[in-house]
Copies of this chain bind each other. A is one copy, B any other.
Amino acid sequence: MQRVNRTATIPTQVKNPDLVERRRRQIADAAVRLFIERGFHKTTTRQIARAAGISIGSLYEYFNCKEDILYLVCDFIHSEMEQGVTQAMTKATGGRDALAKVIREYFMVCHRMSDFILMIYQETQSLPGQWQKRVLENELRITGLLVGVLARLSQSGDLPHRDERSIELTAHNIVVMGHMWTFRRWFLGKHYSIEDYIKLQTAAVLRMCTGGQGK
């Protein structure tokens, strides 16, 4: 989708665009594993090159600086997240328990992408300001998808009406609950399976959405 935009965003010495696309993916794939394992700062450009199976010289044919690599990695992760969430939402249409289905699918996406989400929490600050902003915009867009779901259910009467801000905050809460499974996994993972987590948190969210009309 905005792949063209992305390719255009990071300049390169190399002429062949297909090759650029291919090599960058190859480099990003290698880099993301290293970033997850050792963090951005402790990973050297040489390690990235070695893991990608190219030379350090070649690496700099495709990127201008180390931060460029981090940005591309973040962008790939967000693309995948958004794709996951979007298709989770198409799977989960229909009335009453649509919300439960969306939550389940979203949490499963978070579960799968656990390491990646964690990395973004930790390394976003290492990006140049302008790209930091982009990463946050991506984050917001994913939240927006959930706002859409909640607003629709609210209007169709499947959920009690609540004002816009309340809906928005609920969306943020759900999104962050998904992230929480990743950044508190050192604890939660010991005591809950992902199925436990989904079940309990879904119940909690539903109470949050439907509860409280009585008084």
Contacts and interface: CB of A to CB of B under 8 A. Distances in A.
B121 A186 contact: no
B210 A39 contact: no
A207 to B, nearest CB: 4
Choose among A121, A184, A204 the residue with the greatest number of B CB atoms under 10 Å from its CB: A204
Choose among A121, A126, A208 the residue with the greatest number of B CB atoms under 10 Å from its CB: A208
A54 interface: no
A170 B204 contact: yes
Contacts of A188: 172
A30 interface: no
A173 interface: yes
Contacts of A126: 39, 41
Nearest to A184: B172
B204 A121 contact: no
A129 B211 CA distance: 43
A125 B173 CA distance: 25
Contact of A191 (B39, B122, B165, B197): B165
A56 interface: no
B165 A172 contact: no
Given A39-B126, A125-B39, A165-B191, A208 B204 contact: yes
Nearest to A183: B121
Contacts of A208: 204-205, 207-208, 211
Interface of A: 39, 41, 121-122, 125-126, 136, 140, 165-166, 168-170, 172-173, 176-177, 180, 183-184, 186-188, 191-192, 196-197, 200-201, 203-212, 214
Q: Which 3 interchain pairs have the tightest Cβ spacing?
A: A211-B211, A207-B212, A207-B211
Given A168-B191, A173-B204, 20 more contacts: A39-B125, A41-B41, A121-B183, A122-B122, A122-B125, A165-B192, A169-B204, A172-B180, A172-B184, A172-B188, A173-B201, A176-B180, A176-B184, A205-B208, A207-B207, A207-B208, A207-B209, A207-B211, A211-B211, A214-B214
